[in-house]
Chains A and B, each alone.
Chain A
Amino acid sequence: MEKKKQGLAIPYIAWTVIFSIVPLIIILVYSFCERTPYGDIVFKFTTENYVKFFQPIYLKVLWRSVVLAVSSTLACLLIGYPMAWIIARAGDRARNFMVMLFVLPLWTNFLLRTYAWMGLLRENGFFNQLLMAIGLIHQPLKMLYTDGAVMVGMVYNFLPFMVLPIYSVLVKMDQGHIDAANDLGADPKQTFLRVILPLSFPGIVSGIIMVFMPALSTFIISDLLGGGQTMMLGNLIQNQFLSARNWQFGSAISSVMIVMVLITTLISGKYRGEGSEMLW
Chain B
Amino acid sequence: MKRYLLLTLVLVLAAALAGCGGEKLNKLGYYPKLNVYNWSDYIDPEVLKDFEDEYGIKVNYENFATNEEMLAKLKAGGTSYDVLFPSDYMVQALIELGMLQELDFDNLGNFKNVDPMFKNLIFDPENKYSVPYFWGTMGIVYDSIRIPEEITSWRALWDPRYAGKIVMLDSSRDSIGITLKMLGYSANTRDLGELNEAMEELIKQKPLVRSYEIDAFKDMIASGDAIMSLCWSGDAMLLISEHSNLSYSIPKEGTNVWVDCMVVPTTSKHKREAELFIDYMLRPDVNAKCALAVGYSTANTEAIKLLPKEIQENEVAYPKGNVWDKGEIFVDLGEFTIEYDRVWTEIKSR
**C-alpha gap A242/B344 in the complex (Å):** 14
Interface stretch (choices B49-57, B110-118, B286-294, B334-342): B334-342
A243 and B66 contact, CB distance less than 8 A: yes
Chain B residues, Cβ within 8 Å of A240: 341
Partner of B337, one of A64, A229, A245: A245
Are A57's CB and B212's CB within 8 A? no
Binds B, one of A129-137, A172-180, A230-238, A271-279: A230-238
Residue B32 CB within 8 A of the other chain: no
Neighbour of B97 across the interface among A38, A223, A231, A243, CB < 8 A: A38
Q: Which residues of chain B come closer than 8 Å to A194, judged between CB atoms?
A: none
Query: Per-position contact with A for B182-212: 1 when CB-CB < 8 Å, else 0?
Result: 0000000000000000000000001001111
B345 touches A58 (CB 8 A): yes
Residues of A81-127 whose CB lies within 8 A of B = 122-124
Establish whether residues B68 and A242, one from each chain, have CB atoms under 8 Å apart when the complex forms.
Answer: yes
Query: Could you tell me if A38 and B164 are in contact, using CB atoms closer than 8 angstroms?
Result: no
- Determine whether the beta carbon of B96 is less than 8 Å from that of A38: yes
CA–CA, A223 and B216, complex, Å: 11
- Interface SS of chain A: loop
Q: Are A64 and B341 in contact (CB under 8 A)?
A: no
B93 on the interface (CB 8 Å rule)?
Answer: yes
Q: For the complex formed, measure the closest distance between the CB of B169 and the CB atoms of chain A, giving whole angstroms.
A: 9
> Which of A64, A236, A241 contacts B72, CB < 8 Å?
A241
Q: A228 contacts which of B164, B213, B335 (Cβ < 8 Å)?
A: B213
Contacts of A60 in B (CB 8 A): 349
Classify chain A's interface size: 20 to 34
Which residues of chain B are near A57, meaning CB under 8 Å?
Answer: 342, 345-346, 349
Q: Which residues of B contact A123 (CB under 8 A)?
A: 225
Interface residues of A in 3-53 (CB under 8 A from B): 37-38, 40
- CB closest chain-A residue, reference B72: A241
B69 contacts A by Cβ under 8 Å: yes
- Tell me if A157 is interfacial: C-beta within 8 Å of chain B: no
The 0/1 profile, CB within 8 Å of B marked 1, for residues 213-224 of chain A is: 000000000010
Alpha-carbon separation in the docked complex, A206 to B14 (Å): 52
Closest CB-CB distance, B209 to chain A, in whole Å? 7
Given contacts A227-B213, A228-B213, A242-B69, contact A122 B225 (CB under 8 A): yes
B211 in complex: contacting residue of A228, A241, A246, CB < 8 Å: A228
B344 contact set on A, CB distance < 8 A: 239
Shortest distance from the beta carbon of B98 to any chain A beta carbon, whole Å: 11
From B97, B209, B334, A229 is in contact (CB under 8 Å) with: B209
Complex-state Cα separation, A58 to B344, whole angstroms = 12
Is A142 interfacial (CB 8 A cutoff)?
yes
Interface pairs A-B: 8 shortest CB-CB? A227-B211, A228-B212, A244-B341, A37-B334, A231-B348, A37-B335, A228-B170, A231-B349
Q: What 20 additional pairs, Cβ within 8 angstroms, besides A38-B93, A239-B172, A246-B341?
A: A37-B334, A37-B335, A37-B337, A38-B96, A40-B75, A57-B346, A58-B345, A227-B210, A229-B212, A229-B348, A231-B348, A235-B348, A239-B344, A239-B345, A240-B341, A241-B72, A242-B69, A243-B68, A243-B173, A244-B340
